[in-house]
Every structure is written in structure tokens, then in C-alpha cells.
């Protein structure tokens, strides 16, 4: 490994763990007692000597190594942040895969009491200085745990003892470290006890079972004697030699031929003596299953990782639940701590790590719960027990949606995140937000301000807010840009509605002095439309017409376009529950009264449209596009 840099310790002293080499054996093993560097060296070497321990370690390594994760933006509405997330996803994956860094890190985590270490190198600043926030790493280096010395210094928690004899202090922002079961002894500086330490005796026991079985049953000694009483030692020895010769002739490596021993004495008795047998109470299957279960307990995983623990009589559900509970220990612990280290040491503040297994719950139980909650929410809204905002707040509390999504939904409905009308942002104490909103001294003076002038003046402010919302990497500033966008859209809609559309005079061939190219034959406005789709004024108001697509080219005059825009704005607010029934009627009457429409039909039209919106409102799953189609039909056909 290359030296991080030349910033050495220069006789600096840190309270560190003891480095005395302890040679006392513990628990009947030859391992140095806890804790010393020699113990970690012993553990690392012993893991490869005990097949069962290496198999168990490798199983857990594969489990943790295969956990999928993704880097995502904390603000999904920012395209720029999403692009950064994709870049960091590729970068971290590449660096962790290089030189088997992640695999070595997990193995050290499982086989070293001192824990596992990764050095974050940005390629620019010294190892004793913090990494600037927006400096992406150029390398993630696995560090040998036996060369890493933990300290009690919070700024420099690790000293790296390079093989060249030099010591390097590493800033806490540059070290990714995990340790299992950290000691509560303050002098140990978070040295813990790893899986290999806990599982050493268990793995040795499994090895002993097979070694004993092999020594008893696996050698080529004869398995039994057929004997007769009165035999002499010389005769017994000759009989064994003959049996061994028979085994050689038969090409046997592990199984020995029977030993036959006979006598000339007519009174001799024949008997049989077994030479190979395991202890009477020994049950290999039970002993191995118990040991593997304890091994799984030591790893924090599931017994199913090491053997099939589903026995006859147990259900699939119980087996699945047992597996899930086992996985939730070591996997959840590793995910939570490792992702925290990545977020703190590598990622910018506007990015986070998500585990795909943990964050995408596809179980049937979870799906049924969400379905029941959705049905209950609809019932509450329909019965006026709650409203859309309250149900969203509950979804936020359950983490069904994140805070950014909640805010965006509220803003789209014309409310601030805390439930106030969206124009309340004009009273904000945040100067940055006020600078984005105040395009004139009093933007909300709808009585005295000229609508067209306000639309022109606010356009540049809207573009500025959009630019901030799309391109800034500061989460707080980005949200201010979003707030300003929605607020300015609200103000601009109000001023658009105030623009007085020109009256539609069917007898006036050119009411707006438009060119012949812009004129539409308004006396034949129904041209190309099926007459059956026209709503009969005498129909029952409860039997509403179906929504029919209207050719938008018929809205070719400025007067019709202004009327269409004004009516749609009122319908949208009413559909979103942002407009009272009384205001809905008043605004539509004002629009049509001011444009010379037949007053006798206005009340009938507004009532019909009111009923249609109520039956197809947002809360009932209706689509706003259908509301627009109905309103367009009324504008063109009935009025």
C-alpha cells in the first residue's frame, strides 16, 4: 500500500489500547487472550485452517457483499441532484469493487476484533486534514486491521502503522470503520469482538466431530473380530496380519477385512467383537444442527444460511419468519452503519444511500396494509372526517411519502407546507424568498395593479425561481426556488383571470379587429362536432353529458381563448377544493356576464358544471381533463 502522505506523528502521544502481547490461552484454545494484535493475527490465520469457520465466514461475506444499494437524491424534484446521485453511484461502486476493497472490508469486519477500516483518499488534501465536502474520492483503500491503532482522539481516531515503520494519523473524515460488539471499557477505544472470536470454539467443535469420526471410522483397521475362546497372543497377531493382507489384496483404503481366529480345541466358543463404534449417546445430526444453530447465533444471521433448518411439521410461514428475523440482525446492522459511514465520509449533503431490499417492501402483508389504509383514507375524506391534507400528513408519518413529495402536493393544491394559503409566502421573513417574490412593491394589490403589466414584470422573476429550483445543489435554496415558482404561478393566474376578455358578438364579423387569418367563423363554431354530443338544455341536470374531446382549433379567437382560460382556472380551483361553492358560482357568473352571454342559460350551465365536478372531483378520483372537456363544450355549444 502506498503511504497516504508524509504527515507523520512526530512524537505526538495518544491514549491507545494496550500493545502488550498476551500469550495466555483462553477457553482451551491456543488463541491469545482478548485483546492484542497477536490475537487478530491468530484469528485471521486460524480462519483459513478451520474449514467450517472459513465456510461460515465466507457465507456471511457473500450475504453482506450482495446487499444492493443505490445513491439517490434527497430531493427527487431536482434533476441536477439526480444526475449527481447517478454519478456517485457509479463512482462508489467502482471504487469498492477495485482491488476487492469491499470484500476485504467485510472479511476484516468478521475476523478481526479491531474491526475493519477503509481509507478515503481525495487525491488533493493531506490525510491529517478533513476532506472538503464536495471533493469526491479518487480511491477507497482497504487497511490491514492489525496495522490500525485506535485512539481516544475524536479528530484523529486511527493511527496507521505503515510497514515502513512510520505512523500516520488519519482524520476522522477519511476513515470508514466498523467493529462488532465494541467494548464498554473506555481504555479499549471501541475494540470489540468479531464473529470469528465468538465462533472459534463452535467451528473447532464441528472440526473435532469430523476428525474423531475420521479417526475412528476412516482408518483401515479391521472393524470386528470373529474369535474363539482359548486363543493365544501369537495366534491373534497372525490373524490380524492375514486380515491386513486380505485388505491389501482387495485394494481397500478405509475398510479393513474381518479378522478370523480359530482353534483346534473342540470346546472353544465362537464370538464377535466390534472394533469400530462411536459413543453410545452420540447423534451426529443432532450435534451438528445444534452447533450450526449456535454458529448462526454468533454470526447474527439465520440458521438457514448454514443448513436447511426446516424440519417436518414446521410450516413455510414459520420458516420464512425465522429466516426474516435472522436476516434482520446482521444485515440490518451492517446496512445501517455502513450506509451511515458512506453518507458522512463520501456523499454530498444532498445525497443519501438507500438499500433496495430494505426500502422496497414487496411483501403481500405490506401491500394489503397499504390497500386498507388507502380505502380508509378515501372513506374519511368522503365522510368529511378528514381532508386530503390530513391524510397526506398521516402518509408522511408512516413514511409512505417523503417530505419533499408532501410539500410539492400541498403547493400544487395552493397551500404552504404548514397549511396556509400559498400567498402567505409573501409574509416570509426569509429575505432570499422575498427577493424572488416581490417583483413590485405590492404584488397582491389586485385592485390597483395592471394585470398585463404584472404578468410582464413577474415573468423574469418566475424564470429566476425556475433556474434556482432546477440548478442549485443547496437543498434549502432549491426548496425556496420551488416555493417561489408555485407562489408566482398563483399570482400570475389571478392576474390572467383579471384580464377582461373581449365580448363575443356573433353578429360582429371581427369583434377584436383581428386579421382575416385569425378569424374563425363563430356562427359555424359547431362545424366538425357531432350534434348528438351537444347537451340539450332540457335534459335532466343529473344526467350529465359525457366528456367529449373538442377540437381546440375552434378556440382561435383571443376572446374564446381568454374565456376558456378563465373558466378552466375556476374549475381547477373548485376541483382541487380550493374554492367554495359560493365563490365558484360567483366567478363563473362574472365571467359570462362580462362577455355578453345569454343570462338565461348561465345559471343552468353553472349548476350542471357544479354537479359534474362534484361527481368527478379530485377526491373521488376524477380527472381534471374531463372537467375541461365539459367546460369547453358548454362554452362552444350552449352559450
Determine what percent of the chain is predicted with pLDDT higher than 70. Answer: 71
**Total residues found in the chain within this entry:** 639
Residue 623 belongs to some domain of the structure: yes
Q: Is the pLDDT of residue 545 over 60?
A: no
* pLDDT tier at 497, thresholds 50, 70, 90: confident
Residue 323 belongs to some domain of the structure: no
Residue 522 and residue 583 share a domain: yes
Residue 439 belongs to some domain of the structure: yes
Query: Which pLDDT does position 447 carry in this prediction?
Result: 85
Query: Which pLDDT does position 345 carry in this prediction?
Result: 94
Helix H or strand E encompassing 142? strand 139-143
Residue 251 and residue 160 share a domain: no
For the record, the C-alpha cell of 488 comes out as: 408566482
Residue 471 and residue 435 share a domain: yes
Final residue of a structural domain among 217, 244, 274:
274
Query: Which pLDDT does position 5 carry in this prediction?
Result: 46
pTM value is 0.60
- Sheet (strand 259-260) strand order: 259-260, 224-228, 270-274
Structural domains counted in the chain = 4
Range list of H helices, 314-424:
316-345, 356-359, 364-382, 388-397, 403-412
Q: Which of 261-275, 322-336, 425-439 has the highest mean pLDDT?
A: 425-439
Final residue of a structural domain among 274, 295, 324:
274
Query: Which pLDDT does position 391 carry in this prediction?
Result: 92
Domain with 220, as residue range(s), is 199-274
Phi, psi for residue 460 in degrees, rounded to 5: -65, -35
* pLDDT tier at 510, thresholds 50, 70, 90: very low
- Pairing state of beta strands 259-260 and 224-228? parallel
State the chain's mean pLDDT as an integer.
Answer: 78
Q: Is the pLDDT of residue 517 over 50?
A: no
Query: Which pLDDT does position 394 carry in this prediction?
Result: 92
The residue among 476 and 616 whose pLDDT is bigger is 476
Summarize pLDDT for 287-311 with one digit per residue, the tens: 888 888 888 889 888 888 887 655 5
Summarize pLDDT for 171-188 with one digit per residue, the tens: 999 999 999 999 999 999
Residue 220 belongs to some domain of the structure: yes
Range in 50-54, 64-68, 529-533 the model is least confident about: 529-533
* pLDDT tier at 577, thresholds 50, 70, 90: confident
- Closest to 63 in 3D by CA, of 311, 327, 323: 327
Summarize pLDDT for 142-158 with one digit per residue, the tens: 999 999 999 999 999 99
Cell numbers 478370523 correspond to 260
Residue 81 and residue 188 share a domain: yes
Residue 203 and residue 113 share a domain: no
Contacts of 175 (CB under 8 A, 6+ apart): 117, 118, 119, 120, 157, 158, 345
* pLDDT tier at 633, thresholds 50, 70, 90: confident
Neighbouring C-beta atoms of residue 58, cutoff 10 Å? 13
Residue 525 and residue 412 share a domain: no
Q: How far apart are CA 423 and CA 121, in angstroms?
A: 48
Residue 212 and residue 173 share a domain: no
Residue 634 and residue 522 share a domain: yes
Q: Which residues of 572-598 are buried (b: 16+ CB within 10 A; e: fewer)?
A: bbbbbbebeeeebbebbbebbeebebe
Q: Which of 89-103, 260-274, 374-388 has the highest mean pLDDT?
A: 89-103
Q: Is the pLDDT of residue 246 over 90?
A: no
Residue 477 belongs to some domain of the structure: yes
Residue 152 and residue 85 share a domain: yes
Residue 588 and residue 624 share a domain: yes
Range list of H helices, 50-97:
51-65, 79-97
C-beta separation of 144 from 224 below 8 A: no
Residue 543 and residue 603 share a domain: yes
Q: Is the pLDDT of residue 616 over 50?
A: yes
Residue 544 belongs to some domain of the structure: yes
The residue among 345 and 517 whose pLDDT is bigger is 345
The residue among 111 and 578 whose pLDDT is bigger is 111
Final residue of a structural domain among 448, 471, 498:
498
Q: Is the pLDDT of residue 95 over 90?
A: yes
Summarize pLDDT for 195-206 with one digit per residue, the tens: 999 998 888 778
Query: Which pLDDT does position 514 carry in this prediction?
Result: 42
Residue 203 and residue 168 share a domain: no
Q: How far apart are CA 534 and CA 633, in angstroms?
A: 7
Instruction: For helices 51-65 and 284-299, give the axis angle rounded to 10 degrees.
Output: 40
Residue 139 belongs to some domain of the structure: yes
Range list of H helices, 150-250:
195-217, 233-249
Q: Is the pLDDT of residue 520 over 60?
A: no
C-beta separation of 39 from 278 below 8 A: no
Query: Which pLDDT does position 365 carry in this prediction?
Result: 65
Residue 504 belongs to some domain of the structure: no
Amino acid at each position: 500500500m502506498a503511504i497516504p502522505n508524509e504527515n507523520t506523528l512526530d512524537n505526538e502521544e495518544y491514549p491507545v489500547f494496550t500493545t502488550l502481547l498476551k500469550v495466555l490461552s483462553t477457553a482451551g484454545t491456543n488463541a491469545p487472550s482478548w485483546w492484542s494484535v497477536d490475537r487478530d493475527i491468530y484469528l485471521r490465520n486460524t480462519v483459513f485452517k478451520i474449514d467450517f469457520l472459513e465456510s461460515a465466514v465466507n457465507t456471511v461475506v457473500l450475504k453482506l457483499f450482495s446487499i444492493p444499494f443505490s445513491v439517490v437524491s434527497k430531493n427527487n424534484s431536482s434533476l441536477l441532484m439526480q444526475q449527481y446521485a447517478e454519478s456517485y453511484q457509479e463512482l462508489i461502486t467502482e471504487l469498492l469493487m477495485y482491488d476487492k476493497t469491499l470484500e476485504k472490508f467485510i472479511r476484516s469486519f468478521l475476523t478481526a476484533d479491531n474491526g475493519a477500516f477503509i481509507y478515503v483518499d481525495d487525491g488533493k488534501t493531506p490525510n491529517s486534514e478533513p476532506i472538503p465536502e464536495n471533493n469526491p474520492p479518487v480511491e477507497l483503500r482497504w487497511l490491514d486491521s492489525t496495522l490500525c491503532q485506535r485512539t481516544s482522539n475524536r479528530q484523529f481516531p486511527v493511527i496507521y502503522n505503515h510497514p515502513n515503520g512510520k505512523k500516520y494519523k488519519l482524520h476522522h473524515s477519511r476513515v470508514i470503520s466498523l467493529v462488532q460488539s465494541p467494548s464498554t471499557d473506555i481504555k479499549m477505544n471501541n475494540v470489540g469482538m468479531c464473529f470469528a472470536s465468538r465462533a472459534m470454539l463452535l467451528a473447532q467443535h464441528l472440526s473435532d466431530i469430523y476428525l474423531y469420526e475420521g479417526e475412528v471410522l476412516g482408518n483401515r483397521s479391521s472393524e470386528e473380530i470373529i474369535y474363539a475362546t482359548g486363543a493365544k497372543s501369537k495366534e491373534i497377531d497372525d490373524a490380524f496380519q492375514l486380515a491386513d493382507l486380505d485388505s491389501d489384496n482387495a485394494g481397500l483404503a478405509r475398510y479393513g477385512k474381518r479378522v478370523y481366529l480359530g482353534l483346534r480345541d473342540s470346546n472353544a466358543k465362537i464370538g464377535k467383537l466390534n472394533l469400530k463404534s462411536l459413543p453410545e449417546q452420540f447423534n451426529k445430526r443432532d450435534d451438528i444442527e445444534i452447533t450450526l444453530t449456535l454458529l448462526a447465533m454468533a454470526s447474527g444471521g439465520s440458521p438457514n444460511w448454514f443448513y436447511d433448518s426446516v424440519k417436518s411439521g414446521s410450516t413455510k410461514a414459520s420458516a420464512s419468519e425465522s429466516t426474516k428475523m435472522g436476516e434482520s440482525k446482521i444485515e440490518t446492522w451492517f446496512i445501517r452503519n455502513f450506509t451511515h459511514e458512506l453518507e458522512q465520509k463520501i456523499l454530498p449533503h444532498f445525497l443519501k444511500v438507500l438499500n433496495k431490499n430494505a426500502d422496497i417492501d414487496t411483501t403481500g402483508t405490506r401491500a394489503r396494509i397499504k390497500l386498507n389504509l388507502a380505502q380508509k383514507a378515501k372513506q374519511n375524506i368522503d365522510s368529511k372526517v378528514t381532508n386530503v391534507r390530513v391524510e397526506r400528513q398521516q402518509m408522511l408519518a408512516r413514511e409512505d411519502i417523503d417530505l419533499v413529495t408532501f410539500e410539492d402536493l400541498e403547493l400544487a393544491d395552493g397551500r404552504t407546507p404548514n397549511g396556509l394559503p400559498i400567498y402567505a409566502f409573501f409574509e416570509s421573513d426569509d429575505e432570499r424568498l422575498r427577493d424572488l417574490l416581490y417583483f413590485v412593491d405590492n404584488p397582491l394589490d389586485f385592485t390597483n395593479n395592471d394585470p398585463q403589466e404584472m404578468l410582464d414584470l413577474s415573468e423574469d422573476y418566475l424564470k429566476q425561481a425556475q433556474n434556482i429550483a432546477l440548478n442549485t445543489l443547496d437543498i434549502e435554496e432549491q426548496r425556496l426556488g420551488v416555493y417561489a415558482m408555485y407562489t408566482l404561478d398563483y399570482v400570475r393566474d389571478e392576474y390572467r383571470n383579471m384580464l377582461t376578455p373581449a365580448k363575443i358578438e356573433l353578429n360582429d364579423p371581427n369583434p377584436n379587429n383581428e386579421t382575416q387569418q385569425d378569424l374563425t367563423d363563430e356562427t359555424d363554431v359547431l362545424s366538425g362536432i357531432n350534434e348528438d354530443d351537444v347537451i340539450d338544455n332540457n335534459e335532466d341536470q343529473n344526467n350529465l353529458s359525457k366528456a367529449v374531446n373538442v377540437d381546440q382549433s375552434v378556440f382561435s379567437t383571443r376572446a374564446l381563448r381568454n374565456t376558456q382560460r378563465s373558466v378552466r382556472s375556476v374549475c381547477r380551483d373548485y376541483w382541487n377544493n380550493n374554492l367554495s361553492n359560493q365563490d365558484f358560482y360567483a366567478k363563473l357568473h362574472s365571467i359570462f356576464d362580462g362577455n355578453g352571454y345569454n343570462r338565461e342559460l348561465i345559471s343552468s350551465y353553472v349548476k350542471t358544471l357544479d354537479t359534474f365536478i362534484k361527481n368527478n372531483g379530485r377526491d373521488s378520483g376524477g380527472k381534471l381533463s374531463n372537467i375541461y372537456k365539459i367546460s369547453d363544450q358548454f362554452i362552444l355549444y350552449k352559450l
